[in-house]
Amino acid sequence: MKKLLAKITSKLPWLAIAAVFLWSVFSIVSRKKSEPSPEETVIRLAHWQLEPGVREGFSEIAAEYEKLHPGVRIIQQAIPESTYGQWLSTQLMGGTAPDIVEVGMVDYSLLVVFYSRYLLPLSPYITRPNPYNAGTEWENAPLYRTFKNGMIHSFIPEVQEYMVMPLAMGSVRLFYNKTLLKELTGLDTPPAEYRAFMEVVRTIQSQKMPNGQPYQAFSGSRYHFSRLEDSMANPLSYGAIRKIDFNRDGRFSNNEMFLGFLSGKIDFSDPSYLARFHMVEDLTKMFQPGWSGLSRDEGFFSFAQQRAVFTAAGIYENSAIQSQADGKFELGIMDFPVPTPEDPVFGRAFEGRRYEKPEGNMPMGIVRTSRHPDVAADFLLFLASQKQNEKFNALLKWIPIVKGAKIDPSLEVFEPNVNGVISGFDPNAFGNSSVRWSQLYSLFLIHQIPYVDMAREFTEFYLHDGRENFRKTLQNRRRSHSQNETLLTGLRKTILAGPEESATSAGNKYRTILRRQIADEHNLLLQERIFTDPESVKEQTLHTYTPAALENARRRLVPAPERPE
């Protein structure tokens, strides 16, 4: 028996080598079979969405498309988010990028270069009906009208073209451990009012786990804090816009904030800014020590391990969080708590929930080196049709971006809030001021520098370093303005003398550019006055309206039911 066992043992290495060899042969053969044949038209698509359901969603919709178009093969590549920006840059510059890429994960200045050099404009498709909407109410409607956001954020002003096609919509919400909340506070659901919510936070933090460590109210990292900051603190700064809305368009830009500081119309002592930063201080006290140095995944661990009750996350993380909770605890989802108008600290600054810009998730673009750009565009149109967009987002458990596509009832809590206020604070402008702000703000968040010192140091740097940078910015915009005039001349020629299809596309672009050109000329004249007539800039920017006029404006804001074309 021993001899037989020894004989078998001596042959184990050879058996292992043979098994590995056979597995290698099997893998090579299987891979060869899965590779497309030379006769097939191959469209490769790359994205960074590694969340559950995304790859399966693309695969299922691709299979549907391949049934309609025999001989076409769709292959997706999922690249980790942490390396996607570098990977995309390398692929585009090297001419080896897939046909369709998700556009993002690099600085906007670099994105503008990518748009102009490496990606194809999608403008020719914008005014045409989507052929895959045949049989729906949007059968004859232009493509942009079928999107909930009108594809407004797909238009890139720097290149004056529509460059990307988003496939979904998203928002950020509070996820909470209902089981742990009930155990620690006796509540089934958290309060929606800010003061009552903060009282719940203090109750949670006062209790200890079996190992003696305190429970955490929130899973914390810089990523999670930014979600709370955007949703809870930033809307409190909205009131500042009334003082610095120099062009009276009801919007905010970092140029206007700088102009407000430069003219002395606003500073860090403004009540709206004081309220914003007071809430920031409240929010940072909800996190564990060392939170600002944690990564997104590290910050989430405490929630997954049931050491924290709340976490802030987007709809794109919903499936992953649901799977983490499955069988362990009951999961709840809610919108962020807000103060009441009677709140002693935030009441005067609070004018409503934040406005969630419907930008669209997964912006997809087509690369110029694609061998089959028409097929790539056709697949994107297929994804953006009402039926397929509904099916695609149902697989992802995200919100469809196409009008009329049904949403899963469980996702209604994620519907973006499009009636609300925006932030009136953004100091990231003009060269090194962004770097200096990041340094000082990071110290403020971990309570190493008081608000007064942070405000004083940044204001000195902001105004000293920014003045000449602002002058150069205006000069560059003047040059761009002149270039746009030349572009408008060419478009007018196409409208008057070009083929009907080209004239329609040129007309759409002409109207868009002309509106921006007129608005930009007005803004330039206003902003250049800080150097030519600084006293005039200090005048009141907005008129005062009577209550009756405001009520009339509110009635007009209620949209009439939209009729498909």
Distance between CA atoms of 126 and 506, rounded to whole angstroms? 11
| Per-residue confidence (pLDDT) for residue 11, from 0 to 100 | 60
Q: In which band, very low, low, confident or very high, does the pLDDT at 33 lie, cut at 50, 70 and 90? A: very low
Query: pLDDT tens digit string along 335-390?
Result: 999 999 999 999 999 998 999 887 788 999 999 999 999 999 999 999 999 999 99
- Among 10-24, 157-171, 304-318, 366-380, the minimum mean pLDDT is found in 10-24
Q: What is the DSSP string of 394-447?
A: HHHT-EE-BTT----GGGGGG----SSB--------STTHHHHHHHHHHHHHTT
| Per-residue confidence (pLDDT) for residue 204, from 0 to 100 | 94
Query: pLDDT tens digit string along 140-173?
Result: 999 999 998 888 889 887 787 899 999 998 889 9
- Nearest alpha-carbon partner for 364 in 562, 34, 77, 29: 77
Distance between CA atoms of 332 and 330, rounded to whole angstroms? 7
Q: Determine the topology of domain 32-169+361-410 in CATH.
A: D-Maltodextrin-Binding Protein; domain 2 (3.40.190)
CB 106 within 8 A of CB 85: yes
End-to-end CA gap in the chain = 86
| Per-residue confidence (pLDDT) for residue 477, from 0 to 100 | 73
Q: Could you tell me the CA-to-CA distances from 254 to 112, 427, 433, 543 in Å, in that order? A: 19, 6, 12, 22
Q: Which residue has the higher pLDDT, 222 or 18?
A: 222
**pLDDT at residue 561 tops 60:** no
**pLDDT at residue 420 tops 80:** yes
Quick one: tokens of 222? 């810089």
Average pLDDT for the chain: 85
Burial class for 75, CB neighbours closer than 10 Å (0-12, 13-18, 19+): middle
Q: Go through 471-510 and write b for each residue having 16 or more CB atoms within 10 A of its CB, e for each that does not.
A: eebbeebeeeeeebeeebeebeebbeeeeeeebbbbbbbb
In this structure, CATH architecture of domain 172-334: 3-Layer(aba) Sandwich (3.40)
Q: Cβ of 210: how many Cβ atoms within 10 Å?
A: 5
**pLDDT at residue 35 tops 60:** no
Pairing mode, if any, of strands 172-177 and 168-169?
Answer: unpaired
CB 252 within 8 A of CB 422: yes
| Helix, strand, coil percent values for the chain (each to nearest 5) | 55, 10, 35
In sequence order, what are the residues at sequence separation of 6 or more whose Cβ sits closer than 8 angstroms to the Cβ of residue 407?
393, 399, 400, 415
Q: What is the DSSP string of 198-250?
A: HHHHHHHHT-B-TTSPBPEEE---HHHHHHHIIIIIGGGGGGGHHHH-TT-SS
Q: Which residue has the higher pLDDT, 397 or 276?
A: 276
| Per-residue confidence (pLDDT) for residue 294, from 0 to 100 | 84
**pLDDT at residue 400 tops 80:** yes
pTM of the predicted structure, to 2 decimals: 0.78
**pLDDT at residue 250 tops 50:** yes
Sign of CA dihedral 349, 350, 352, 353: positive
Mean pLDDT value of segment 112-140? 92
Distance between CA atoms of 97 and 373, rounded to whole angstroms? 13
- Among 19-23, 244-248, 427-431, the minimum mean pLDDT is found in 19-23
| Per-residue confidence (pLDDT) for residue 159, from 0 to 100 | 81
Side-chain half-sphere CA neighbours of 97 within 13 A: 31
In sequence order, what are the residues at sequence separation of 6 or more whose Cβ sits closer than 8 angstroms to the Cβ of residue 94?
none
CB 355 within 8 A of CB 418: yes
Instruction: Return the amino acid letter for 448.
Output: Q
Q: Could you tell me the CA-to-CA distances from 313 to 81, 172, 347 in Å, in that order? A: 16, 5, 26
- Nearest alpha-carbon partner for 43 in 75, 70, 65, 67: 75
